[in-house]
Amino acid sequence: MMESNELKNREAIEDEFFYALSNLCQFYGWPAYRAKVVDAYPGNIAQAFAWAQQRLEKQDESLHLLICQDEQHAATLATAAEMGMDTELFYIPVRPYYHQLKDHDRRDRLALLDCLYCYLNHIVEIPFFTENGYIGYQYHMVTEGVEWEDEDEETKAHYRHMEQYMADIQKKGQACLEHFNHAYVLLQFADRLEQFKVKTALDETLKRIAQTGLELYREFPHRSIMEHCDISLKNPEEQYGPDFDLSQTMSFYWIDSDDSYEAISHAIDSDFGEAEPRYPTTFQFFDTPQTGQPGSAHDFSFHRRVMKLIHTFTTYLYKLDAEYNAPVQ
């Protein structure tokens, strides 16, 4: 004989599942589900799910249908879509910004850089290397816990150098963060762009990049690229496990041509060489009736536009860094 609690759970699951199925059919314009042969629970749910799954696959093969159970749902339906992308690192260098911060002759250029760095860090939520995050953790581990007292003098000198150097770039990086990370910077984005005076070809490139950044900010003033990523709040050893996502492939860092990057690049290569990517994934739940156009909840155009912006901006920043580090004639 069925226990009363089990009966209540069954009723809750059936009620919620078939209500979600009704919402799904209404949203996609499908006919209401009618079972040819009514199976007993849980076969009735499996039968209905297979029917809906087959219809969804014919309509949009990029979507997956899921039965979701959590603290809020006994058994609801959701569609999911995964953004396909190459395994590419979107690391934004900070050293060029630091050079510009110390250059008092081009404050107008710094003003635009402030806007772009602030937008990408504060709104898009790309992690900064002096704070918590995958790259920040890698920088921290360069000298953390290294036992070098018993090493030879050459090795000791290397570790002393790395300790001093890592502390130096942390200090410089924090100074950069504290300079651009203010709400008023974004409020002045349009005015700063309008007042910017193009003096070089590099300035023309920066102006185009800033225009793209301003368009994204106006269109998505609160949109984070990390919102569809499963970023754990566990300690770093558990957080950065066998899989990786955008929270690890996107970050601000110092530069890729110095001792600091050489020190962390081995760990990065090892992590990404052995791991499987977790791509950004969108979900649309049907626990309530849905509105809008089918597929609109699974639009990754924002992600692709941000990635294109980062790629263009990073290329510009390396050219700016080379300008400041060019050998004196």
Condensed to tens digits (0 to 9), the pLDDT of residues 142-172 reads 877 566 566 778 888 888 888 899 999 999 9
Q: Any idea what DSSP says for residue 292? A: S
Q: Quick one: pLDDT band at residue 173, thresholds 50, 70, 90? A: very high
Q: Any idea what DSSP says for residue 317? A: H
- Number of neighbours of residue 301 by Cβ within 10 angstroms: 7
Q: What is the pLDDT of residues 101-122, one digit of tens each?
A: 999 889 999 999 999 999 999 9
CA gap 318, 176 in Å, rounded: 17
Residue 98, Cβ density class (10 Å: 0-12 exposed, 13-18 middle, ≥19 buried)? buried
For residue 252, the model assigns a pLDDT of: 97
Q: pLDDT at residue 77 above 70?
A: yes
Q: pLDDT at residue 244 above 70?
A: no
For residue 58, the model assigns a pLDDT of: 94
108 Cβ neighbours under 8 A, 6+ residues apart: 192, 195, 196, 197
319 Cβ neighbours under 8 A, 6+ residues apart: 202, 205
Q: pLDDT at residue 174 above 50?
A: yes
Q: What is the pLDDT of residues 190-226, one digit of tens each?
A: 999 999 999 999 999 999 999 999 999 999 999 999 8
What is the overall mean pLDDT for the chain?
Answer: 87
CA gap 319, 323 in Å, rounded: 6
Q: Is the peptide bond before 42 cis (omega within 30 degrees of 0)?
A: yes
Phi, psi dihedrals of residue 130, rounded to the nearest 5°: -85, -5
- Number of neighbours of residue 329 by Cβ within 10 angstroms: 3
Q: pLDDT at residue 237 above 50?
A: no
